[in-house]
Chains A and B, each alone.
Chain A
Amino acid sequence: MNLDVELLSRLQFAMTIGFHFFFPPLSIGLGWLLVIFEWNGWRKNDESYVRIGKFFGKILALTFAVGVATGVVMEFQFGTNWAQYSKFVGDIFGAPLAAEGVFAFFLESGFLGLYLFGRGKVSKGMHWFSALMVAVGATISAFWILVANSWQQTPAGFIVQNGRAELTNFSEAIFNPSTLPRLLHTVDAALIAGAFMVVGISAHLILKNKEAELAKKSLKIAAIFGLIVSLMEVFPFGHLHGQQVAQTQPEKFAAIQGLYASENGAPVVMFALPINPPPELKARIAVPVPGLLSWLAFGDAHARIRGLNEFPKDEIPPLFLTFVSYHNMVVLGMYFILIMAITVYKLYRKTLWESKKLLKVLVWSIPLPLFACQLGWIAAEVGRQPWIVYKLMKTKDAFSATLSGGEVLFSLILFGVIYAALGVLYLYLLTKEINHGPEPAKEVAV
């Protein structure tokens, strides 16, 4: 049997990063909401927020543990499965990974220990500060990972010399053209994920009439927070990111927008089924505003957008996956704004607690931001293909050529089994924790 090492390595990378990427967004989102809850608990001296903090703190700990466990794999996988890539970019790509360890993990894991184990042992101010450092650490971690990944999208600050990319300008490499737009868009997505989790779990507690008064408080804060971050995700962050892609990676932009032929005053395609070959959009429905895409991308309704026909055939990304994942992400993004707006409106009218249906919808919406994260990530990464570093190195030249197909198949199955088990265990323990609910008030007073 002839096994394709490149394909297997790509599958393994997609699986391990995809699974891992369920957890960091939740950690970041929950982390920042805990900062707010613990602040209220400390400054308002309100015991109920301390209980909320304790409850969601447990969920954060569980999420963080699985995130760490699956994250370790990522740090090593570049070397094990992508040796040629590692040799080519190590000078640049390794630094942010090391920096993540030094500047983010030490902060995050150190203060998480203090946050989880230090309640009542350190001063309340110090305890709040440890919650803050957990959130800050998680966000800095996202920063360094996005620096590394953005450099793959829009490499900068280097020269190719001695058969490898060598660093010439550190800050240009770090703040390459896509770093900031992608950082803002991704971290905000994480905040949405955290907000939906807190809102959904709180809604569940209200529906089950378990510590409902407490859950109303956490829902209120998380819903308002969720509406703000959902709005910001589209404008300005999504918009800025879209503009950046249009300018720096026109092939990706054309693929995700379904623009197969160049157009002046291109419209925004809302729905279509991409067929290939030849590249074609079936059942295409566009927003009836002429030149909307051109205007959004370049601020000019008549601007010309380059279609896929302008690029070499072997340099365009897969069309179906990019188009479909991007468009579903956008649909979900709109849904987040809508559902949070309705929730906040009902909070304002004081009718939310009676709207059982809406509360149920909120419970079932918990995983949706995580799906949106996955879809966005797929659009970003598949949209970069066939390059592993845009215009510099192709994915097919990047994997570890010395591996045998059998070895990679073995590890793929190994991780598949472990991750399936971890996923089941996480969901089991999460539901157990949620159904157990916050600790009763008396125990907290001890």
Chain B
Amino acid sequence: MMEFLDVNTLRVIWYLLVGVLIIGYAILDGFDLGVGVLHLFTGDEHERRIHLNAIGPVWDGNEVWLLTGGGALFAAFPFVYATVFSGFYIAFMLLLTALICRAVSFEFRGKVDSQQWRAVWDWAFGLGSLVPALLYGVAIGNVMRGLPIDKDGTFTGTFLGLLNPYSLLIGVVSLVLFTLHGAVYLTLKTDGAQKEKLVRQIPALWIMLVVLYFLASAATAWTSPFLMDGVFSNPLFYVLVLLMGISLMGIPVLVKRAKYFPAFLSSSAAIASMVATLKPREEMRHTGIVIF
């Protein structure tokens, strides 16, 4: 490779790239996963159609981020890719099942005029969205908390071990975060009673998210205090927290003022800064975890 790029510089570039992909995925696929979760909570055929139409043209483009992320991780950190993917075998198989069901549900649902047929694909779409939204946080939770890895880089834990209370809590945070993000996105694509319903739901989801986020932060400080080491002396951390606070506050305020597109941008910024605050906590490498 080029001489002025030493291995460590390249590694930082790849690291940032993988970070951008993780955040990009959360923002873009986040809203269509969220719409899928909301899909589970309505029985109204008109609303359901609006959901599908709202994300029909964009969802596969969004999912590309996941594929690219997988490829980038493979290329940049083959050991992480191989260890995590084979270690989380059953989790990945469930994720893939969810993604397959979800991908075909868009195309299949409208093809047969039968209520049962549509019901099957509504469930496939809803659960196929809920599982990835939950697992996104579960994966982050496990990586932050630390994984049982032996000196050869082999994962020694179990599938049920991945579903520990802490990681599940982070999973619920990402689930609610994406659902809120999806609801904000839908305000751009709806009108009338459906929109009013969303405008009512958003503050409720928002309160749930804030409460869960504080719980998750407390849990992090309690179970993995090493993740907090040095965080408070890092100025970047305060910038990100400030950004997150402002953009989080922006969501209900802007929705209330019927400024839906700015609200969606605000929600995207909240996700980006929330995921990015995880970055200054990469001290986990000192705990024997070789991720990144």
Given contacts A411-B89, A429-B108, contact A73 B100 (CB under 8 A): yes
Whether A102 sits at the interface, judged by CB under 8 Å, is yes
Whether A425 sits at the interface, judged by CB under 8 Å, is yes
**Chain B residues, Cβ within 8 Å of A249:** none
CB under 8 Å from chain A, chain B span 178-233: none
CB-CB contacts of B70-95 with A at 8 A, as 1s and 0s? 11111111110111111111101100
**Chain B residues, Cβ within 8 Å of A110:** 61
Q: In the bound complex, what is the Cα–Cα distance between A81 and B88 (angstroms)?
A: 11
Residue of A75, A81, A164, A429 near B67 (CB, 8 A) is A75
Given contacts A72-B96, A411-B93, A422-B104, contact A109 B64 (CB under 8 A): yes
A62 and B75 contacting across the interface, CB-CB below 8 Å:
no
Whether A389 sits at the interface, judged by CB under 8 Å, is no
Complex: chain A residue closest to B111, CB-CB: A429
A78 and B74 contacting across the interface, CB-CB below 8 Å:
yes
Residue of A62, A94, A418, A422 near B81 (CB, 8 A) is A94
**Chain B residues, Cβ within 8 Å of A117:** 56-57
**Chain B residues, Cβ within 8 Å of A422:** 100, 104
**What's the minimum C-beta distance from A155 to chain B, rounded to whole angstroms?**
16
A83 and B76 contacting across the interface, CB-CB below 8 Å:
no
A83 and B106 contacting across the interface, CB-CB below 8 Å:
no
Whether B287 sits at the interface, judged by CB under 8 Å, is no
CB under 8 Å from chain B, chain A span 95-114: 95-102, 105-106, 109-110, 112-114
Residue of A65, A78, A109, A432 near B107 (CB, 8 A) is A65
A112 and B64 contacting across the interface, CB-CB below 8 Å:
no
**Chain B residues, Cβ within 8 Å of A87:** 78-79, 82
A410 and B82 contacting across the interface, CB-CB below 8 Å:
no
Q: In the bound complex, what is the Cα–Cα distance between A81 and B84 (angstroms)?
A: 11
A86 and B74 contacting across the interface, CB-CB below 8 Å:
yes
Whether A414 sits at the interface, judged by CB under 8 Å, is yes
Complex: chain A residue closest to B83, CB-CB: A83
B60 and A109 contacting across the interface, CB-CB below 8 Å:
yes
Residue of A69, A101, A403 near B68 (CB, 8 A) is A101
Residue of A65, A81, A97, A411 near B71 (CB, 8 A) is A97
Complex: chain B residue closest to A102, CB-CB: B68
**Chain A residues, Cβ within 8 Å of B83:** 83
Given contacts A79-B74, A83-B86, A101-B64, contact A90 B81 (CB under 8 A): yes
Whether B58 sits at the interface, judged by CB under 8 Å, is yes
Q: In the bound complex, what is the Cα–Cα distance between A400 and B88 (angstroms)?
A: 12
**Chain B residues, Cβ within 8 Å of A62:** 107, 111
Q: In the bound complex, what is the Cα–Cα distance between A66 and B101 (angstroms)?
A: 10
**What's the minimum C-beta distance from B275 to chain A, rounded to whole angstroms?**
20
A72 and B74 contacting across the interface, CB-CB below 8 Å:
no
A402 and B154 contacting across the interface, CB-CB below 8 Å:
yes
A425 and B108 contacting across the interface, CB-CB below 8 Å:
yes
**What's the minimum C-beta distance from A383 to chain B, rounded to whole angstroms?**
25
Residue of B67, B111, B112 near A72 (CB, 8 A) is B67
Complex: chain A residue closest to B95, CB-CB: A76
**Chain A residues, Cβ within 8 Å of B61:** 106, 109-110, 113
CB under 8 Å from chain B, chain A span 188-228: none
B71 and A99 contacting across the interface, CB-CB below 8 Å:
yes
Given contacts A68-B60, A414-B93, contact A402 B81 (CB under 8 A): no
Query: Chain A: how many interface residues by the 8 Å CB criterion?
Result: 56
Given contacts A95-B75, A97-B74, contact A79 B82 (CB under 8 A): yes
**Chain B residues, Cβ within 8 Å of A101:** 64-65, 67-72
Whether B155 sits at the interface, judged by CB under 8 Å, is yes
Do most interface residues of chain A lie in helix, strand or loop, or is the interface mixed?
helix
B74 and A94 contacting across the interface, CB-CB below 8 Å:
yes
**Chain A residues, Cβ within 8 Å of B154:** 402
CB-CB contacts of B102-129 with A at 8 A, as 1s and 0s? 0110111001100000000000000000
Q: In the bound complex, what is the Cα–Cα distance between A97 and B70 (angstroms)?
A: 8
Whether A80 sits at the interface, judged by CB under 8 Å, is yes
**Chain B residues, Cβ within 8 Å of A70:** 100
**Chain B residues, Cβ within 8 Å of A397:** none
Residue of A90, A96, A410 near B93 (CB, 8 A) is A410
Whether B99 sits at the interface, judged by CB under 8 Å, is yes
Interface centre among B83, B96, B155 (most CB of A within 10 A): B96
Whether B277 sits at the interface, judged by CB under 8 Å, is no
**What's the minimum C-beta distance from B19 to chain A, rounded to whole angstroms?**
15
**What's the minimum C-beta distance from A71 to chain B, rounded to whole angstroms?**
8
Whether A439 sits at the interface, judged by CB under 8 Å, is no
Whether A46 sits at the interface, judged by CB under 8 Å, is no
Whether A172 sits at the interface, judged by CB under 8 Å, is no
A72 and B92 contacting across the interface, CB-CB below 8 Å:
no
Interface centre among A70, A78, A96 (most CB of B within 10 A): A78
Q: In the bound complex, what is the Cα–Cα distance between A168 and B253 (angstroms)?
A: 54
Complex: chain A residue closest to B66, CB-CB: A72
CB under 8 Å from chain B, chain A span 108-156: 109-110, 112-114, 116-117
**What's the minimum C-beta distance from B53 to chain A, rounded to whole angstroms?**
9
**What's the minimum C-beta distance from A242 to chain B, rounded to whole angstroms?**
31
**Chain B residues, Cβ within 8 Å of A403:** 86, 89
**What's the minimum C-beta distance from B105 to chain A, rounded to whole angstroms?**
9
**Chain B residues, Cβ within 8 Å of A114:** 57
**Chain A residues, Cβ within 8 Å of B104:** 65-66, 69, 422, 425
**Chain A residues, Cβ within 8 Å of B88:** 80
B89 and A80 contacting across the interface, CB-CB below 8 Å:
yes
**What's the minimum C-beta distance from B123 to chain A, rounded to whole angstroms?**
14
A402 and B74 contacting across the interface, CB-CB below 8 Å:
no
A86 and B78 contacting across the interface, CB-CB below 8 Å:
yes
**Chain B residues, Cβ within 8 Å of A113:** 56-58, 60-61
**What's the minimum C-beta distance from A240 to chain B, rounded to whole angstroms?**
29
CB under 8 Å from chain A, chain B span 29-85: 56-58, 60-61, 63-79, 81-85
Residue of A98, A112, A400 near B75 (CB, 8 A) is A98
**Chain A residues, Cβ within 8 Å of B97:** 414, 418
Q: In the bound complex, what is the Cα–Cα distance between A164 and B153 (angstroms)?
A: 15
Whether A93 sits at the interface, judged by CB under 8 Å, is yes
**What's the minimum C-beta distance from B269 to chain A, rounded to whole angstroms?**
23
**Chain B residues, Cβ within 8 Å of A410:** 90, 93
Given contacts A83-B85, A86-B78, A113-B57, contact A65 B90 (CB under 8 A): no
B112 and A432 contacting across the interface, CB-CB below 8 Å:
yes
Q: In the bound complex, what is the Cα–Cα distance between A83 and B81 (angstroms)?
A: 8
**What's the minimum C-beta distance from A56 to chain B, rounded to whole angstroms?**
15
Residue of B69, B78, B106, B112 near A91 (CB, 8 A) is B78
Given contacts A79-B81, A83-B83, contact A418 B100 (CB under 8 A): yes
What are 6 sample pairs from A and B whose C-beta atoms fall under 8 A apart?
A: A62-B111, A76-B92, A98-B72, A101-B64, A113-B60, A402-B155
Task: Pick the 8 closest A-B CB pairs, nearest first.
Answer: A90-B78, A79-B85, A94-B75, A98-B71, A94-B74, A101-B68, A113-B57, A97-B71
